[in-house]
Amino acid sequence: MSQIACGAGALARETLDAILRASTRSFTVLVAALREIFDESAYARFLDRQRATSSPIAYAEFLRESEIAKVRRPRCC
């Protein structure tokens, strides 16, 4: 980080801004990973693909499709 010659608190503000940006990026990645782990992203992609809105019927169809895909997946070792 370079020092900014515009006042005593400039370096502290720059450092705090950098920490906040890094924290925000980390939080965004964490949320995205959790959405993938818990199939929320897959469900959103399913809704986009089907051009549907979220509903119990759509979720049931998503679960059926997911189970069919799991059965078709070849097992290794």
Domain parsing of the chain, residue ranges: 7-38, 39-77
Which residue bears the tokens 């089907």? 50
Question: Given this model, what pLDDT does residue 70 score?
Answer: 84
Which residue bears the tokens 């959790």? 34
Going by pLDDT thresholds of 50, 70 and 90, the confidence category of residue 76 is confident
Q: How far apart are CA 43 and CA 54, in angstroms?
A: 9
Residues 18-36: what's their mean pLDDT? Answer: 95
pTM of the model: 0.65
DSSP letters for 28-62: HHHHHHHHHHTTHHHHHHHHHHHT----HHHHHHH
* pLDDT exceeds 70 at position 41: yes
Question: Please, is 43 exposed, middle or buried when counting C-beta atoms within 10 Å of its C-beta (0-12, 13-18, 19+)?
Answer: middle
